[in-house]
């Protein structure tokens, strides 16, 4: 089966090579980290890891990197001399890992899953343990790790509806892939049943909860909030509508909701934060086309007069989590379009009620808990979105109560770190 997988991988690569080359030439994000993805790790990094057998943690993008932080901190706390290498797939994930995860010894891009590449990378890193955040199943690297007697552990594992059907269809092959993994620490009982149904040995599977409930969101003091207002050239206590991690197709809905709210709440400011940096200019063009008064965050200058624009386009990376602390109403994107949603716990950690759409497959358990608490407001369309936003703006006390209820969800669901460490410590 691995032979067939690699043949299909090679054929697909050849057929798509013109598109891949075009993408590499056109988009810088595809070129970033390319040498590392092809197995050429920087000499200074290899020198830093020389003589050690690091723990290799893999987190695909920003959400997984953020969730990995408390796990990395706990490993370092218990094993101070243990070196850790963190890999990501996306540019934003790599950037977030570089600036936010100080405890790791190196950050790299994950290698492409070709046999000759993964063999080279594993030979260079010589990891003691490979930890996968959520469920990134790359057949060749998992197989090669097993061949080298290097244990693999899935932490905060989940299987979405879409992935479940795909894996079930290829169960004969994926059961062999899963056999290369030593322990599965799954988020929920549903995830546990699904991974077993796909072919994992039930004796290797345990339910531990979601690491995202244990993530550390920095506390923002009153003074820091004032600094945020000053940075944005806004009045202290300004009414702010934050739409975070939006995708194509969502900005138009957000803008229509904002326009309607603006008729009643004249001082309302919209902070719009597209999920992907390559869309910053696209969204700026959309705002310009609609003749909306807007400014990019990077264009706001220190000492400038108070901002008289209605919309601030957040065209930076790594600031959104802290900015949620000054939001009056919060919407988290990737949920009104079918992309699976994004991390709604970042605003909740600041005791904010949060609005999200129906497409929360990647955060199904979290969104369910928030809905049941009353602090998570799921909307199916623009009309429901506007109604919930108006409700939050109408009563400060009720909005604060909903934020408290949402925050309680985090407190009631923490503990995945310690349960996951029980599995990890077997190999350390």
Task: Describe the chain by its helix, strand, coil percentages, rounded to 5.
Answer: 55, 15, 35
As given in the structure block, the two tokens for residue 214 are: 């244990």
- Residue corresponding to tokens 């934060």: 273
Pick the closest to residue 12 from 162, 114, 118, 91 (CA basis). Answer: 114
- Residue corresponding to tokens 């010894």: 105
SS3 (DSSP) at 156? strand
SS3 (DSSP) at 50? coil
CB 180 within 8 A of CB 146: yes
CB 154 within 8 A of CB 184: yes
E strand intervals along 27-161:
55-58, 84-88, 106-109, 129-133, 152-157
CA distances from residue 370 to 49, 375, 423 in whole angstroms, order as listed: 42, 6, 28
Q: φ and ψ at 266, to 5 degrees? A: -65, -30
Query: Residue 108's beta-bridge partner residues?
Result: 87
CB 54 within 8 A of CB 85: yes
Which among 28, 64, 384, 422 is annotated as catalytic? 64
As given in the structure block, the two tokens for residue 149 are: 């007697």
| Three-class SS of 161-221 | HHHHHHHHHCHHHHHHHHCCCCEEEECCHHHHHHHHHHCCCHHHEEECCCHHHHCCCCCCC
Pick the closest to residue 404 from 362, 363, 356, 349 (CA basis). Answer: 349
Q: Apex CA 55: angle with CA 52 and CA 59, to 5°?
A: 140
346 is catalytic: no
User: Which of the residues are catalytic?
Assistant: 64
């Amino acid at each position: 089966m691995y032979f067939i997988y690699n043949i299909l991988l090679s054929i697909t690569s050849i057929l798509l090579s013109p598109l891949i080359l075009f993408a590499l030439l056109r988009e810088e994000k595809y070129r970033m980290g390319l040498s590392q993805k092809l197995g050429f790790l920087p000499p200074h990094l290899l020198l830093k890891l020389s003589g050690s057998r690091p723990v290799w943690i893999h987190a695909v993008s920003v959400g997984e990197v953020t969730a990995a932080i408390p796990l990395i901190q706990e490993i370092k706390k218990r094993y101070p001399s243990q070196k850790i290498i963190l890999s990501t797939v996306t540019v934003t994930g790599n950037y977030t890992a570089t600036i936010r995860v100080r405890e790791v010894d190196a950050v790299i891009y994950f290698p492409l899953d070709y046999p000759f590449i993964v063999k080279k990378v594993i030979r260079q890193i010589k990891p003691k343990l490979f930890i996968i955040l959520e469920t990134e199943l790359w057949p060749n690297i998992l197989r090669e790790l097993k061949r080298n007697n290097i244990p693999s552990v899935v932490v905060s594992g989940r299987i979405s509806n879409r992935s479940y059907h795909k894996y079930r269809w290829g169960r004969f092959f994926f059961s062999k892939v899963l056999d290369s993994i030593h322990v599965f620490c799954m988020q929920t009982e549903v995830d546990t049943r699904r991974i077993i149904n796909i072919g994992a040995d039930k004796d290797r599977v345990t339910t531990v909860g979601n690491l995202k409930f244990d993530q550390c969101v920095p506390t923002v003091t009153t003074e820091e909030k004032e600094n945020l207002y000053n940075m944005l050239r806004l009045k202290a206590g300004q009414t702010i509508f934050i739409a975070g991690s939006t995708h194509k197709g969502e900005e138009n809905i957000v803008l229509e909701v904002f326009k309607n709210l603006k008729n009643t709440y004249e001082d309302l400011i919209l902070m719009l934060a597209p999920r992907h940096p390559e869309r910053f200019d696209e969204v700026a063009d959309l705002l310009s086309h609609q003749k909306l008064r807007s400014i990019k965050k990077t264009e706001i200058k220190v000492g400038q007069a108070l901002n008289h624009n209605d919309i601030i386009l957040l065209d930076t990376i790594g600031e959104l989590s802290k900015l949620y602390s000054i939001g009056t109403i919060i919407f988290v994107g990737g949920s009104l379009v079918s992309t699976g949603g994004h991390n709604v716990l970042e605003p909740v950690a600041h005791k904010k009620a949060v609005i999200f759409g129906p497409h929360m497959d990647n955060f199904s358990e979290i969104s369910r808990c928030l809905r049941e608490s009353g602090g998570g407001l799921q909307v199916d369309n623009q009309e429901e979105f506007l109604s919930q936003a108006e409700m939050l703006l109408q009563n400060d006390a009720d909005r604060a109560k909903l934020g408290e209820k949402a925050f309680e969800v985090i407190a009631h669901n923490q503990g995945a770190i310690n349960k996951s460490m029980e599995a990890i410590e077997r190999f350390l």
